[in-house]
Structure 1
Amino acid sequence: MEHVLKRIEVLNPKINAFFFTDPAGARAAAAESERRWAAGRPMGPLDGLPFSAKDSSLTRGMPSPQGLTVNRDMPPGDRDAPAIARLREAGAILIGKNTQPELASLASCISGLYGIGRNPWDFSKTPGGSSGGSGAAVAADMVPLAIGGDSGGSIRIPAAHCGVVGVKASFGRIPLYPPVASSTTTGPFVRRASDIPFIMNLLTRPDASDPYALPYDGVDYTRRQPDLFKGKRIGFTDWFGYGLRTSPGVATAFRGAINRFRNLGATLISIDAPFDHDPFDRLAPMFAAGARKKALTKTGGRLDTLLPVLQAWFEEGKDVTPEEMEIGLAEQKLVIERMNRLMEEYDFLLTPTSPITAHEAELAFPPDVRLYRVSPTRGPECGRPGGPNGIEGSCRIGEHHSGWFAMVPFTFPFNYSGHPAISIPCGLADGLPVGLQVVGRKQDDFGCVSAAIALEEALDRKFVSPLLG
C-alpha cells in the first residue's frame, strides 16, 4: 500500500490521474487485510489489492462530480456501483477516484474542475478519454487495477494510448448502476491480459440493481482453453470505411502483431471495410440531442459552466428535429446489423484500437480533424495550429463533434452491437503505445478474454512506460 500511495504522491502532480485519494482509509483497510492474511482467512485472492475508479463511478464515501465545476462541493456518495461493491466485498481497497473530461464527453482528459490529464509515456500527450485518469493510473503503476466506463471507446482508447489493457465487456455482462439502457459498460484497466480473469470472476456476479444485466452464467474466467484458435477464423482490418485513417506508425505496429499470430492455428483473413459511408453523418444530430439532455440534467441547466467546446456541441443539440432523430435511430440499427453480420463470419476480429497514438494533452481532439484547443484557464478557440495563441481560423458551432467521432471508428460500433472487446498493447509508434482490439462473438466474454491472453502471450513483449523504466 505504501508503494502505491508514494507513487501517487510523487507522480500525480505530473499526470493528474487522481482528483481524490483517501490515504488514511487505505492504510487502515490494508492493515485489516494483513491481519486476515496472517490469520489464514483472506476474503479472496484480491484481498488487499489497491484499486481506483473513474470519477463517474458511484462510490460510497467518495465524490463523483463528473469533472463539473457546479459539483465542486459535492458530498461523498452513499452507495457503490456494483463493480466497486464486488471488489470491496472481495477485500480490494478503493484508494481514490480518477479524473475524466467533463461529462465523459471528450477524446482527451480535460475539465474545468481538474485541469488537464497527461500521459505517463509523454507528459505532453493525452491519456485519452474519457476514462483517461484510470488508464494513466495503471500505466504509471499508481494502482494495479482501475475501473472505467465505456460508451464508445472510453476504456479501450485510454488503454491503447497508455499501453495497458482495457476491457469492454458485453453489454449487461458487468452490472451497472445507475442502470443505462444503451451502449454503456463498465470494466477494468490492468497491466496484463493475464490479470483479467480474477477480476472478471468478481465483476460479472449478479446485482439486482441493474435490470439490463445479462443472466449470470457462472463462467470461471481463470479456466484456460487449450487449442483456442485451432480451426478458428480471425478477421483483421485497419480500415472500417470512415473516421481517421490509421496512421502509418499504428498500421506498422498492428500488421507486425498480426504476423506474430499466424502460427496460432487459426486462419487469418484480411476483411473489407464494413462501412461504405460515415455513420456519424446520420448519428450526429441524435447524439447532440441526447448529450444536451444529459448535460442539462447533470448541471441543473447551467450549460454556461461547461467548457465552451462542450457548450457548442450542446447548443447544436437544441434544435434537432424528430426526422433527424428517426434517421439516427435507423442508422443505429444499421450499425448493429452490420456488426452482427460481420461477427457471424468470424470467431474473432482484430483491429487497431485507435487509428492514431495519443495527441496533445491540451487539445480536445487530435490535430488531424476539426479542432478545439481547450484550457481550463482560458476559453478554447477553434481552428488549426499556426495563428495567435497557437491556432488560427474559425468554425461554425458544432463542427467540433467530428473530432470525437473520427477517433472511434473501431470501437463505437461494438458498444451499439454489444459485442465484447478488449484492447491490448501491441507495439509502439514514435515512442507511444499502440493498442490492438480483440472483438469476440456475441456475449462470448470468456472467449474474448481467453483470446486476449493468448494473443498477448504470442506477442511476448512487455510494454513499460518511461515512468517505470
Structure 2
Amino acid sequence: MPEARAAAGPPHLSASELIAGYRRRTISPVEATQAALDVIEQYDDQVNAFVLVDAEGALAAAKESEARWHSGEPLGPGDGVPTSIKDALWTRGWPTLRGSTMIDEAGPWDEDAPSVARLRETGAVILGKTTTPEYSWKGVTDSSKYGVTRNPWDLATTPGGSSGGSAAAVALGMGAWSVGTDGGGSVRIPAAFTGTVALKPTYGVIPLYPPSAFGTLSHAGPMTRTVRDAAVLLDVITGYDARDWSAMPTPATSFTSGLDDGIVGVRIAFSSDLGFVDNDPEVDALVRAAVQQLAAAGAEVIEVDPGFADPVDAFHILWWSGAAKVLEAYQVDDRVDPGLRRVADLGTAYSASDFLDATSTRMELGQLMGRFHQQYDVLVTPTLPIPAFPVGQDVPDGSASPDWTSWTPYTYPFNLTQQPALSVPCGFTRTGLPVGLQIVAARHADSLTLRVGQAYQAATDWHRRTPTLEAR
C-alpha cells in the first residue's frame, strides 16, 4: 500500500503556488506541464486515470503560456496551470465518449463545454480527458470502454466516482486542477476516497452544455488538492453562458475574496449521521476530530440533525428516469454497463405522477434546508460513511443493496437541494485510506463553504499528504 508523504516538487505544487512561481520565474509552465506529463507516464498504467493525453498539444500550450508570463501578459488566473477534464464534458477537437461504447467517436467534436471554454480563455494547459463510468451513472469508476480506475492510496480499492479519474489524477500530481461533474456526489465521493478537495457549487454557478440527461441534479465542479485552488478554479469556470438556460449571472466578486477571514462566530451544525446513517467507527472518529478543530478555530458548533428522512426514493425516481433517457437513443447491447441497464429499466416504469411526486419531495427538502440555514450557517457531515472498498464492484462487500446510493447517503440529498457542498480530507484510517469531511451551506453561499474549508486546511495538513507509487 502506498505511504503518505508531504507534497513537494513541481507535480505536487498547488495551482496557487505554480502561479506565484510563474510570476517570480522560479518555475515555468513548461516545467510544470512536463512534470505532470512525467507523472502520467510513470503511473497511469497503474491507476488508469486518463482516457486521452495530448502531450504534444499540452507542451505547445505551455510554451505559449511561458511567453505570456515572460512578457508580463498572462491571460488570467489559470494561465499555465496543468489541468484535466472529465470525459463527460465536451472538448473541441477531442471525442467525449463518457465511458460508453454507444457514442460515435467520429464526432464532430467542434464545441467546448462552458467550463472548458473558460479554461482555454484563461490560458490553462489542458493535458487530456479523465475516466468516468458509463454516462457517469454510478459512484465508482469503471467501464467496458476504458476498464477499471484504481485508488492511488491502495490500488486494490476504488477511487470512487463518477469523477474517479479526475480525483486519482489530482491526488498523484497529474495536473493541479481537474473539472468533474456531480449529479449525486460524483466530485465529492472520489475526493473523500482519494484525499483531495472537491466542490459541488450551487446549481447554475458553473454553466453546463450540453444539458445532462439527469436534469437539474447535475453540476460541474472543481477538483483540486487545496481549498484555495478550488476557489481560484471556480473563479475561472463560472460565468454566464447563453447555451445553459439555467446559468446564473457571472459572479460579481471573486470566490477567493474573504477566503482567509476565518470562522470565528460562524454557526456550524454538526450532524454525525443525518439521523439515518451508520458510519464506520474510524470515519466517525476522524470526522468528530475535524469538527473539534473547527470549534478550536472559533466556530460555534452545535450537534444537531437537519431533520429530514432519507430522500433516496425520490432521488432514485429522478436518477433512474435519467438513466432511461440516456439509453432510449441507442441500440443497447451487452457492452453497456449491466447496472446502468438495470436502473434504466426501472426508470422506464415511472409515471409522470411519480416524477412530480419526487420533484415535490425535492422541493420540500429544499424548503427545509432553507429554513435550517436561517439558524445555522453551515452543516458539517462526513462526506461518506465508509472508506474506499475493493475495486471493480459497485457497492461494498456484504451490501444488502445493489445501488450505489446505499453507501453515499451524505452526498445525493444536496444535489436534490442544489446547495454548495465541499469535501476536504480530514485524516486516514489505520490502513492508510483517506476520509472526507463535507461542508454544506445555503444556496448561493459558496464562498462561505470555501471559507470554512480554508479555515480547516489552515489548521491541518491532511491536504498536503500525497500517495507514493513505485513506477513500473
Q: What TM-score, normalized to structure 1? A: 0.88
Aligned position for 1:347:
377
- The answer on whether the counterparts of 1:163 and 1:463 sit within 8 Å (CA) in structure 2 is no
2:120 aligned partner, one-letter code: R
Question: Cα offset for 1:85?
Answer: 0.9
Question: Cα offset for 1:196?
Answer: 2.3
CA displacement 1:67-87 (0-9 Å, x = unmatched): 111236344621111111111
Relative to 1, partners in 2 of residues 1:144 and 1:264: Cα closer, same or farther, differing over 3 Å?
Answer: same
Q: Distance in 1 between matches of 2:291 and 2:463?
A: 17
Aligned position for 1:223:
257
Q: Distance in 2 between matches of 1:348 and 1:463?
A: 25
How many residues are paired up?
Answer: 435
1:271 aligned partner, one-letter code: V
For the pair 1:213 / 2:247, whether they are aligned, the reply is yes
CA displacement 1:258-310 (0-9 Å, x = unmatched): 1112122221000136234x32235434432331112223xx23254312222
Aligned position for 1:269:
302
Question: Cα offset for 1:10?
Answer: 1.3
For the pair 1:427 / 2:427, whether they are aligned, the reply is yes
Relative to 1, partners in 2 of residues 1:13 and 1:131: Cα closer, same or farther, differing over 3 Å?
Answer: same
Q: Distance in 1 between matches of 2:389 and 2:155?
A: 11
Q: Distance in 2 between matches of 1:441 and 1:182?
A: 17
SS in 1 for 2:295: coil
Q: Distance in 2 between matches of 1:283 and 1:408?
A: 12
Q: In structure 2, list runs of 5 or more residues that go unmatched.
A: 1-32
Q: Distance in 1 between matches of 2:305 and 2:78?
A: 43
SS in 2 for 1:465: strand
- The answer on whether the counterparts of 2:323 and 2:340 sit within 8 Å (CA) in structure 1 is no
Aligned position for 1:194:
228
Aligned position for 1:25:
57
- The answer on whether the counterparts of 1:81 and 1:178 sit within 8 Å (CA) in structure 2 is yes
- The answer on whether the counterparts of 1:179 and 1:211 sit within 8 Å (CA) in structure 2 is no
Q: Distance in 1 between matches of 2:204 and 2:312?
A: 25
Relative to 1, partners in 2 of residues 1:459 and 1:213: Cα closer, same or farther, differing over 3 Å?
Answer: same
- The answer on whether the counterparts of 2:263 and 2:451 sit within 8 Å (CA) in structure 1 is no
SS in 1 for 2:328: helix
* 4+ residue segments displaced more than 6 Å: none
Aligned position for 1:448:
449
Aligned position for 1:410:
410
Task: Return the match for 2:118 from 43, 67, 86.
Answer: 86
Aligned position for 1:110:
142
Q: Counterparts of 1:267-416 in structure 2 under 5 Å?
A: 267-272=300-305, 274-276=307-309, 278-297=310-329, 300-302=330-332, 304-370=334-400, 400=402, 403-416=403-416
For the pair 1:178 / 2:179, whether they are aligned, the reply is no
- The answer on whether the counterparts of 1:58 and 1:81 sit within 8 Å (CA) in structure 2 is yes
Alignment root-mean-square deviation, CA: 2.0
Aligned position for 1:149:
181
Q: Distance in 1 between matches of 2:356 and 2:117?
A: 38
For the pair 1:234 / 2:268, whether they are aligned, the reply is yes
Relative to 1, partners in 2 of residues 1:76 and 1:467: Cα closer, same or farther, differing over 3 Å?
Answer: farther
Q: Distance in 2 between matches of 1:92 and 1:200?
A: 13
SS in 2 for 1:188: strand
SS in 2 for 1:208: coil
Question: Cα offset for 1:176?
Answer: 1.4
Relative to 1, partners in 2 of residues 1:286 and 1:174: Cα closer, same or farther, differing over 3 Å?
Answer: closer
Aligned position for 1:391:
none
Q: Distance in 2 between matches of 1:458 and 1:434?
A: 17
SS in 2 for 1:182: helix
SS in 2 for 1:94: strand
1:210 aligned partner, one-letter code: D
Q: In structure 1, list runs of 5 or more residues that go unmatched.
A: 371-398
Aligned position for 2:153:
121
1:421 aligned partner, one-letter code: A
Relative to 1, partners in 2 of residues 1:274 and 1:368: Cα closer, same or farther, differing over 3 Å?
Answer: farther
CA displacement 1:149-174 (0-9 Å, x = unmatched): 01110001111111000011111111
CA displacement 1:300-358 (0-9 Å, x = unmatched): 23254312222222222232234433432332223222322322221011111111111
Q: What TM-score, normalized to structure 2? A: 0.87
For the pair 1:138 / 2:170, whether they are aligned, the reply is yes
Aligned position for 2:284:
251
CA displacement 1:349-404 (0-9 Å, x = unmatched): 1111111111111111222423xxxxxxxxxxxxxxxxxxxxxxxxxxxx62xx31
Bigger mean CA offset, 6-15 vs 288-297: 288-297
Q: Percent identity?
A: 38
Q: Distance in 1 between matches of 2:67 and 2:315?
A: 54
